[in-house]
Amino acid sequence: MASYTTNEIRGGMKVMIDNDPCLILENEFVKPGKGQAFNRIRFRNLKTGRVVERTYKSGDSIEAADVVDVEAQYLYNDGNHRHFMATESYEQYQMTETEVGEAGLWLKEQGECTLTLWNGTPLAVAPSIFVTLKIVETDPGVRGDTSGGGGKPAKLESGAVVRVPLFVQEGEVIKVDTRTGEYVSRVKE
């Protein structure tokens, strides 16, 4: 695999650190007018999720990681694993509930998502930024309330619970921003 020198490394690059694939968050060049230059690199370990800051002597290199993001479709949950299929290659992948993590709360069968693959095995899954999901459980709202102020919890078909305005009813389909977990709008089916 190729490697990058500290001067080439940018946020968003994926590299191997401590034998784990890591995502670069920030690379700060620290150089006194006279004296040794350093790069303070902040990265997230893609296996553990831990964020670490580490200092490198400028000019050192870090091995690149074979990490790619692919578009995929969530297929089904067999009780032990969640199954996915890459949209382009039709290649199928499986992940445990732990590996899927919180993203699992937003996954609907046949819904789109992004798989992060490391050496061909899935490291992480991310739902689309906006998803449309059906409300499977919520208290009946107060008639006439259209302000949206306050709101109430609503459980969605994928398992997530979001706050929705009082006028939104069980059985309705809503659009949610998965980055914040916030209700966006109702969707007419």
Total of residues contacting other proteins (CB under 8 A): 22
- Four-residue CA torsion sign, 76, 135, 176, 182: negative
Q: Is 34 in the site for other proteins (CB under 8 A)?
A: yes
The stretches of the chain forming alpha helices (DSSP H) are 97-100
Applying CB under 8 A, which of residues 40, 47, 83, 152 lies at the interface with other proteins? 40
User: Which residues are bridge partners to 6 per DSSP?
Assistant: none
Q: What percentage of the chain's residues is helix, strand, coil (to nearest 5)?
A: 5, 55, 40
Q: Find the shortest distance in angstroms from Cβ 107 to other proteins.
A: 35
Q: Find the shortest distance in angstroms from Cβ 11 to other proteins.
A: 13
Applying CB under 8 A, which of residues 50, 60, 177, 182 lies at the interface with other proteins? 60
By C-beta, is 54 or 179 nearer to other proteins?
54
Applying CB under 8 A, which of residues 12, 19, 35, 143 lies at the interface with other proteins? 35
Candidates 27-35, 70-78, 123-131, 167-175; binding stretch for other proteins (CB under 8 A): 27-35
Q: Is 37 in the site for other proteins (CB under 8 A)?
A: yes
**For 59, which DSSP code?**
T
Q: Is 56 in the site for other proteins (CB under 8 A)?
A: yes
**For 64, which DSSP code?**
B
By C-beta, is 34 or 188 nearer to other proteins?
34
Q: What angle do CA 150, 155, 158 make, to 5 degrees?
A: 140
- Cα gap 183→170, rounded to integer Å: 14
**In angstroms, what CA-CA distances link 132 with 114, 119, 128, 153, 160?**
16, 32, 10, 16, 12
Which residues contribute to the site for other proteins (CB under 8 A)?
7, 17, 28-38, 40, 52-58, 60
